[in-house]
Amino acid sequence: MATGNQIGSKIAWDDTVLPFQLDLSGIRGRVARLDGVLDQVLSKHNYPPAIEALVAECALLTALIGQTIKLRWKLSLQIRGKGPARLIATDYYGPTEEGEPARIRAYASYDADSVTETDAPFSLIGEGFFAVMLDQGEGMLPYQGFTPIAGGSLRSCAETYFAQSEQIPTRFALSFGKSREPGRETGWRAGGIMLQHMPQTGGVAAAEGSGDGGLLTHADILSGAPAEDWNRANHLLDTVEALELIGPNVAPTELLVRLFHEEQPRVFDAQPLRFGCSCSEDKVRNTLSIYSQKDIMHMTTPEGRVTADCQFCGAHYEMDPATLGFEGTAAADGNAG
C-alpha cells in the first residue's frame, strides 16, 4: 500500500474532510480523517472507554456533516438520553476566512457510577433524541431538527435524521479507535465516509415510512434508476475495511478509487480541521451579567473568587466577584486561570 507524506510526525491527509461526487450515480459524499483533533478532544477528559467511543463517533459524524456549512456558521450535534450517557455534544465552526481550517470540539455528560467497562456504548444512551442544530449567524433564526434514538448506533441515528428531516438518503461508514504506528505514540485515529443521494424533486408521497416506528428510509424516498444507483454505491461501500477508513496508509483519493472507480469519482478541495473552543472570560462575564451581587456572592468560593470551567476544553477562569453581574462595582481585572 502507498505510504502517506509526512508533515513532521503528521500524515498529510489527517484532520481533513475531502468532498467528492460520483458522477455516474448522482451521489455526493465526503471522506473524513481525524487523528490530532480527536486526540485533543478526548485528552481534555478522563472518560471511560464506552463514553470515549460515543464522543469519537459523534465527533466523526460532526466533521462529515459540518463540512458543507458556510464561513462563520456553526453546526452542533446533541445526543440526549435517559440512560447513563445523558448528553454528547459537539460543535463544528465553519472557517472564519476562505482557506482557514474549520474547528471542532466535543464533550460528554454522564453518570460515572452507572458506566462499566463492559457496557456497549450505544446502550448507555437509552431513550432520547438525536438533534442537529445550525446557527447561521447574527440576525438569522437557528435551525433545529430531531430524530429519536434508534437503530443501534449514532451513525444510524444520523442516517434516519437525513431521511426523516431532509428526505435525503444518507449512509455513513465509520471506524475509530486507539492505535500505535511505527515511530509515533499511541493515539486516536478515526475515519469515515458519508454518501448522500442528490435531492430528488417531488418530495415523499408516503405518509409513513418503512423504518422502525414508521421512520423514513431510502426505500421510501428513491425509486427506479436513482434507487438502483444508490443501492449499487452502498454495495461498494460495504466492501470497505476498517483500516482503509482510518487510513494511515491509504490516502482519501486512493480510497475513493478503490471503492468507486467505476462510478467516476471527482474530488474537490479538502477542508482542514483543528480542535478549537469558543470559550473566553468575556463570555463567562456576559453569562453572569444578568445576576445581582447577592446571586454572585452565592457563587463565590471561600477564597473570594468566582470560578468557571469550560466543559469542552477544560479552561479554568477565576474572577473577582466585585466585577461581575449588573451590580458590579469594579472594573474587570482580567485574571484568568
Q: Do 271 and 295 share a domain, yes or no?
A: no
pLDDT in tens, the chain (337 residues): 333 443 334 577 899 999 999 999 989 999 999 989 999 999 989 999 999 999 999 999 999 999 999 989 999 999 999 999 999 999 999 999 998 999 999 999 999 999 998 899 999 999 999 999 999 988 888 899 999 999 999 999 999 999 998 899 999 999 999 877 666 677 899 999 999 998 765 555 455 777 777 777 877 888 889 999 999 999 999 999 999 999 788 999 999 999 999 999 999 999 999 999 988 999 999 999 999 999 999 999 999 999 998 889 888 999 999 999 988 887 775 444 3
Q: Do 202 and 291 share a domain, yes or no?
A: no
Residues 88, 250: Cα–Cα separation, whole Å: 30
Helix (H, G, I), strand (E, B) or coil at 5: coil
Per the domain annotation, does 306 fall within a domain? yes
Q: List beta partners, residue 318.
A: 307
Q: Do 206 and 318 share a domain, yes or no?
A: no
Of 28, 176, 149, nearest to 88 (Cα)?
149
Number of domains in the chain: 2
Helix (H, G, I), strand (E, B) or coil at 110: strand
CA max distance for the chain: 70
Distances (CA, A) of 15 to 106, 182, 270, 272: 15, 19, 10, 6
Q: Do 264 and 290 share a domain, yes or no?
A: no
Q: Do 298 and 224 share a domain, yes or no?
A: no
Indicate the pTM of the whole model: 0.87
Q: Do 244 and 303 share a domain, yes or no?
A: no
Per the domain annotation, does 329 fall within a domain? no
Residues 94, 32: Cα–Cα separation, whole Å: 15
Q: Do 167 and 262 share a domain, yes or no?
A: yes
CATH number at residue 260: 3.55.30.10
Please report which helix (H) or strand (E) contains residue 188, including its range. strand 187-197
Q: Do 113 and 228 share a domain, yes or no?
A: yes
Q: Do 301 and 171 share a domain, yes or no?
A: no
- Computed over its alpha carbons, how large is the radius of gyration of the chain? 22
Q: Do 305 and 163 share a domain, yes or no?
A: no
Q: Do 129 and 197 share a domain, yes or no?
A: yes
Q: Provide the domain limits for residue 38.
A: 11-275
Per the domain annotation, does 331 fall within a domain? no
Per the domain annotation, does 109 fall within a domain? yes
Q: Do 118 and 153 share a domain, yes or no?
A: yes
Per the domain annotation, does 330 fall within a domain? no
Residues 259, 305: Cα–Cα separation, whole Å: 58
